[in-house]
Structure 1
C-alpha cells in the first residue's frame, strides 16, 4: 500500500483562554506565533526547527477544557538541565528530572493543566 501521509500537519491543543495561553507559550517556551485567527479562535505556534506547529484552539463557550492524565506531547532539548532551570526560574510548575537507561525527562503543566514533557537522549 502506498504511503498516504507525508507528515503530521499540526497538533491541536484546546485552551480556555487563547490570549493567555499564546502569551505563556511564547514567554516560557520561546515559541513564535506563525499565524493567528483570533475571531475563529486559533493560534499556530512554531516550536523551533521542526516543521509541525502547535495550534492552540480556544474552547467553545461553556465547554470546559479537559486535561489528560498523561503527557500530551514531548519536546526534545539538547540541554535538559538548562531547559529545566529556565522553566523553573520562569515560575513554571516543573517536576524533577527523571532518568531511565538512555533517556532523561521531566514534565510540567501549561496554564490549563495540560501535562507537557521535555526529554533528552543520545541518538
Structure 2
C-alpha cells in the first residue's frame, strides 16, 4: 500500500489570546515563533531542534478561538521530548509553570504541565 503521508506537520493548540500564548511558549519553553498570521490569529512555533538549524524541531500551531467561542480543554495533548526530565521539571516549576509530579517508569521519566490557558502538555525523557 502506498504511503500517503511523510510525517506529522503540526499540532493545533487552541488558545484564548494568541499574543499572550505565543509569548508564554517562547519565554517558558524556549520555543521559536516561526510564523505569525494576525488575520487568522495563529502562530506556528518550533520546540527543540538544534541551535544551528541543522536539525529541525517539532512545530505547534497556536490558534486563537473565535470571539464568543467557549474554550474547552482537550484530552489530546503533545508530548515534548527532553534529554533531562528532572532538569526540565525543576526549571518550569521555578518559572511558575503548573507542573505535575515527576513520574518514573521502567523506560521513561515524564511529567505533565499546563500552559496559561490550561492546555495540557507532557515532557518525556526516554531512558537509555
- Where on the TM-score scale, by shorter chain, does this alignment land: which range? over 0.9
When the two structures are aligned, how many residues end up with a matched partner?
Answer: 122
Q: Distance in 2 between matches of 1:71 and 1:2?
A: 28
TM score, norm. by length of structure 1: 0.93
Consecutive unaligned residues of structure 2, counting only runs of 5 or more, are 50-55
In the alignment, is residue 73 of structure 1 matched against residue 73 of structure 2? no
Q: Which of residues 99, 102, 105 in structure 2 aligns to 1:94?
A: 99
Judged with a 3 Å threshold, the aligned counterparts in structure 2 of structure 1 residues 39 and 59 are, in CA distance, closer, same or farther, namely same
TM score, norm. by length of structure 2: 0.89
Structure 1 runs (4+) deviating above 3 angstroms are none
The corresponding residue for 1:12 is 12
The corresponding residue for 2:119 is 114
Contact 1:71 1:107 survives alignment (8 Å):
no
Q: Which of residues 57, 63, 69 in structure 2 aligns to 1:63?
A: 69
Instruction: Note the aligned Cα RMSD (angstroms).
Output: 1.3
Consecutive unaligned residues of structure 1, counting only runs of 5 or more, are none
After TM superposition, give the deviation of residue 65 of structure 1 in Å.
1.6
After TM superposition, give the deviation of residue 51 of structure 1 in Å.
4.4
